[in-house]
Amino acid sequence: MTNVAVIGAQWGDEGKGKVVDWLASRADVVVRFQGGHNAGHTLVVGNETYKLSLLPSGLVRGKLGVIGNGVVVDPEALLAEIARVQGQGLKVSPETLRISESATLILPFHPALDKAREAARGDAKIGTTGRGIGPAYEDRVARRAIRVADLAEPETMALKLDELLRHYNTLLRELGVETFTKEAMLAHLLALAPKILPFAEPVWERLDTLRKEGKRILFEGAQAVMLDVDHGTYPFVTSSNTVASAAASGSGVGPWAVGFVLGIAKAYTTRVGSGPFPTELFDETGRKLGERGFEFGTVTGRPRRCGWFDAAMVRQAVKIGGIQGLVLTKLDVLDGMPELKICTGYRINGERSRHLPAGMAAQAAALPEYETIEGWSGSCRGARSWVDLPAQAIKYVRRIEELVEAPITLVSTSPERDDTIMVRDPFEG
């Protein structure tokens, strides 16, 4: 048996929450390794819908959840999320949730700057959620961040606040935004400390022990490869590394411990926020995909942009992300569509390309080249085996498999956790 890392293979919102929930039934621990509460996973379990942003999805299955050092944690958002899911009947306590003592905290001045910067960009805005993720990661790299462990050291927090507020208040004043005082921020942190510290520990040590005991570890990523800060459609990306290798650095395990890398992709393509989207549809078909797929951001509620499946982009994500098997979700959304298109490459300034380039202008200029495939009249909804799928739907899946150069491991046919076709068991490696 092997561990499994789950990452997005498009621009996020691919249905990772359901897949992680489904896999968690056979895992012992689920680890969130990057991002913050700018990502959201929606899990549908019977008549209950859970919307998670920071909590690892495995908690819904009663599994141990771990928030790794690669995550930036808004303590107020985390406590509110814990209270919300507890109200839905989930048990969340220091026995079921552990947080890395090295994780960076998101504090009130982070979203304040995030929103002010985005407003100042005007038409050139990136599409950030305004939740302070980027500024918090900036503090980590600049070596001025307040981390979970610092909550136990008031003197350390006071010292760090001097530098942080000097930095943030200067920027906020320049942008015409209200500033923060050291006294108020220190009181805020001291009030949070007894609520957060019981969850804190060196999670790398726990994960090492679990690995030696032969326990199955499921690593859960947020966002997706094409939003990776290095490899995505920069600058319209998130502020962390979303590729599978980040599972190791973001949780404190060796790269060999990450195990089988499972990429998640919708049977079509969506994106939230600004940035290039070669296969985006602005017509009735795009509207229909959005309505059928209930395409609204879990965190922001913003409608997602919709388009045809981009095999060239997913192939790129497969290579960069180290994806060994692909999950295709929301196949049922395409039911009844007479004709489908798959992007096989791009035309960029008259030249053909099989990948999205790194340059911002070149990305914006990318025009899709399509292959047309006949749709199907039957229904994929709720299918749990290949024999339940229309023949043409199977052809569509197989063609995607060829174009992205990665085997289809799982197919999801509805939001329900058990409406899943397993072709290959990821835990078998």
In the chain the domains, ranked by start, together with CATH numbers, are: 4-102+200-260 (3.40.440.10), 104-196 (1.10.300.10), 266-428 (3.90.170.10)
Q: What average pLDDT does the chain have?
A: 93
Q: What is the mean pLDDT of residues 311-336?
A: 96
Q: Is the pLDDT assigned to residue 43 strictly greater than 90?
A: no
Dihedral angle, C-alpha 303, 225, 14, 72, nearest 10 °: -70
In this prediction, residues 393-415 reach a mean pLDDT of 96
Token pair of 322 as six digits:
């180290």
Q: Give pLDDT, residue 44.
A: 74
Of 396, 403, 399, nearest in space to 376 by CA: 396
**Catalytic residue positions?**
13, 41
Statement: residue 320 has pLDDT above 70: yes
CA distance 146 to 315: 38
* Main-chain phi, psi angles of 119, to 5 degrees: -65, -40
Run of H or E including 195 = helix 182-196
Could you tell me what percent of the chain has a pLDDT over 90?
Answer: 81
* CA 333/CA 15 separation, integer angstroms: 13
Q: What six digits make up the tokens of 60? A: 């819904």
Rounded-to-integer distance, Cα 145 and Cα 316, Å: 33
Per-residue model confidence as pLDDT tens digits over 91-122: 999 999 999 999 999 999 999 999 999 888 88
Question: At which residue do the structure tokens 């982009």 appear?
Answer: 313
pLDDT at 299: 62
Residue 298: closest CA among 278, 326, 270, 325 = 270
The span from the CA of 293 to the CA of 426, in Å, is 26
Q: Which is more confidently placed, 163 or 24?
A: 163
SS3 content of the chain, % helix, strand, coil (to 5): 40, 20, 40
> Would you state the pLDDT for residue 22?
85
Please determine, for residue 302, whether its predicted confidence score (pLDDT) is greater than 80.
no
For the record, the structure tokens of 394 come out as: 């199977």
- Rounded mean pLDDT of 127-136? 88
Rounded Cα gap, residues 148 and 145, in angstroms: 10
Helices (H), 367-412: 391-404
For residues 171 and 19, which has the higher predicted lDDT (pLDDT)? 171
Q: Does residue 12 register a pLDDT over 70?
A: yes
Q: What is the pLDDT of residues 251-270, one digit of tens each?
A: 999 999 999 999 999 999 99
d(CA 265, CA 285): 19
- What pLDDT, on a 0 to 100 scale, did the predictor assign at position 112? 94
CA distance 165 to 343: 48
Ranking 23-27, 36-40, 362-366, 413-417 by mean pLDDT, the lowest is 36-40
Q: What is the pTM of this model?
A: 0.93
